[in-house]
A and B are shown apart, each in its own frame.
Chain A
Amino acid sequence: LASDLPQPIVRSIGRKHRVLVVEDDRNAALEVTAALEDYGFAVEHVSSGHDGLLRAMGGEFDAVVLDRMLPDIDGLSILATLRNIGMRTPVLILSALAAVDERVRGLRAGGDDYVTKPFDGLELTARLNVLLRRHSSAAAPSMLSVGDLTLDASTHLVQRAGQTVELKPREYSLLEFMMRHAGQVVTRTLLFESVWNYHFNAQTNVIDMHIGHLRRKVSLNGRMSAMIHTVRNVGYILNAAD
């Protein structure tokens, strides 16, 4: 298992991302903190909405993980306040309310993503990474390159070691997403939501097949290294070197 997941931890060399966790439930807070710290985030935890709002307004965090239901102030009110005073820090809402409506409400209130409890640590981290990446590079670079794989977002031209890779539109979107998050584990759910843009638990074996096709094309039908690796029970990772 250890050999499967070194990348996220290695990636944390350099400045650690600072994440504020606002969560009143002790067990949930411990779980979130542990998961985030495992994957290289510097975590600060507060257990009340009041403290959470004050700390978040300080603006020293790269992201906020916000519980939807807090004893003093409602999570969505905190979010609305932050957005009203012009704070653009990415906020991931964490909630036990799984209803379809709740996600819509959370995102409308200015949340960047919505994860329901009980959650998977890796899923949470992967999503947080996506948020951070999206936030830090407002103007996404149009030329992406990972090792000898290059992607030109303006012309949709993909090349592997100088050879053009012909991709279908959806395969192109998949590859672009994976290249923008190279070195990070991306879960199937995250891939599906980001690339297909539907929020529904798709049958994961279908995603596997799309990745399989993409992997074959990126490796130039097996003549070169695969680059896209399956992380068992979790998702995929795109790496420059094997």
Chain B
Amino acid sequence: MSAISSTPRTSRAPRPHLSSVGWLLVVFVSSAIALFALLYWLTSSYLLHEVDERLRGEVAEFQSIGRTEAVASIDALSRRDVANSRPYGVFDTNGSWLAGNIEHLPPEKYRTPFDYTQARTERRGRVTVHYRGIIVPTTSGLRIVVGHSIDEILVFDRTLVKTLCAGLALTIALAVVCGAALNMMSNRRIRAISKSSREIMSGQLDRRLPTRGTNHDLDRLVSIVNTMLDEIERLVGEVRGVCAGIAHDLRTPMTHLRGGLERVRRRSGTVEDYADSIDTAIGQSDMVLTRFTALLRIAEIEAGGRRASFGWISLDTVLRDVVELYEPLADHRGLSMKIHAPTPVEIVGDVDLLFGAIENLLDNALKFTPSGGAVTLEVRHDGGFPVLQVTDTGPGIDIDERKAVLRPFYRCRGAQADVTAGHGLGLSLVAAIARMHGADFEIHDNRPGCRMLLRFVGD
């Protein structure tokens, strides 16, 4: 039986788009560029700002200076500036030169720093020197210009740009290499995962997606999927078991039924013979129907969660009713039945289904306990949870079979030849009812015998 028969749909060609690593790269590189630009802008504007502040401070002193005093001090200042790095100039109202080492009055706005250049003859030839300057009109009607060479700042600027560009290039190169490596690694993992997925889809349900045992995102996802696959494998296995179980279990009564009908057809006896054979046939078909009903009931219980039929029920009362129903059977088998229900125990549930669960547990216990044995039924509170327990003095269930007995149609190895064995659905039904009631179904050793208990731990 193939549970997963559909072939995977061929995915349409995906639109070309950046992988997550690509996007990360773009974001990283653009933020590196922005950071470097900001660094450059802040540094260079800080240095210029310092120069401007000095210029403003200096011209503020000249603002109210007298005419002759101005010419004299500018002349003295410019004489001291041998390197021509801090030139001064004083000009008349009409712009004619009066003193200083600035020869022309620059056509600029007053009191606002500006850039200008001046050619200068040095030993190595004529060079253009860059200056920052400011003009201030004095109260005496003069125009005083103060300059400051910014060549050093410009050199520093160029060095800064070079350094930043080199750093940026290195960063981008590193990012691209790392991104490509990451991309390759994740692609390789995805390829490995998709390969395993295809194998699983092709029917190898025992395969699992590869993990590395790290706490990586992909690893955590893979372990979730693997847990899901475990559950799917279990369910598919169960379905397979049920199908095989149904086929195997129904073949026997159907064969008997067919054989009986065929025999009476061949012999063609009296009306009584026919009536008798029909009765036998009805009995055998009833057996088949009973199994189907039980199977359907399990399916129906497993399909739903909490139902409208749920209400507060007294577990000890239901227990007493079941025991009362089974008293004649226990007497007949020579078994003693004891109830231990010291305090009332109430739970929320479906009274009919719980009756069914207890009935199946008790039926199971009575069936497998040899004559002279004892079956004890108990309800109590254990660790704050209501607990229902059925113990017997029968052969018990091997530890490796305790899970398997909950599967439909599973029969214990020891019970295989036993004619008293039931339809193999009783404990599956109990398990389904337990799940529906949020109860744990536990099977323990009773030494000798078996101890089955339902622990109603809630949803």
A residues at B contact (CB < 8 Å)? 1-2, 98-101, 103-105, 170, 196, 198-203, 205-206, 209-210, 212-213, 232-233
Contact = CB atoms under 8 A, between A and B. Distances in A.
Contacts of A202: 325, 359
A28 B216 CA distance: 60
Contact of A196 (B321, B350, B353): B321
A209 B350 CA distance: 27
Nearest to B303: A99
Given A202-B359, A213-B328, A100 B286 contact: no
B345 interface: no
8 contacts: A99-B300, A101-B304, A196-B325, A200-B359, A202-B325, A203-B363, A205-B329, A210-B325
A99 B325 CA distance: 25
A207 to B, nearest CB: 8
B279 A101 contact: no
Contacts of B283: 232-233
Given A201-B293, A233-B282, A100 B326 contact: no
Interface in B243-301: 275, 278-279, 282-283, 286, 290, 293-294, 296-297, 300-301
Contact of A206 (B293, B309, B328): B328
Contacts of B328: 206, 209-210, 212-213
A206 B329 contact: yes
B151 to A, nearest CB: 93
| A-B CB proximity, top 8 nearest | A209-B328, A1-B275, A200-B356, A104-B309, A198-B355, A233-B282, A199-B352, A101-B307
B172 interface: no
Interface in B204-252: none
A201 B290 CA distance: 9
Contact of A100 (B290, B321, B329, B350): B350
A198 B352 contact: yes
Contacts of B278: 1
Contacts of A101: 304, 307-309
B351 interface: yes
Given A98-B300, A104-B308, A199-B352, A170 B293 contact: no
Contacts of B359: 200, 202-203
A179 B321 CA distance: 23
Nearest to B311: A104
A185 to B, nearest CB: 14
Contacts of A209: 328-329, 332
A35 B52 CA distance: 113
A160 B191 CA distance: 85
B37 to A, nearest CB: 69
B387 to A, nearest CB: 22
The winner among B293, B321, B328 for most chain A CB atoms within 10 A is B328
B401 interface: no
A210 B290 CA distance: 21
Contact of B275 (A2, A203, A206): A2
A16 B349 CA distance: 42
B335 to A, nearest CB: 13
Given A100-B353, A202-B359, 10 more contacts: A98-B296, A99-B304, A100-B307, A103-B309, A104-B307, A198-B321, A198-B355, A200-B352, A201-B297, A209-B329
A210 B359 CA distance: 16
B442 interface: no
A113 to B, nearest CB: 15
Interface in B343-380: 350-353, 355-356, 359, 363
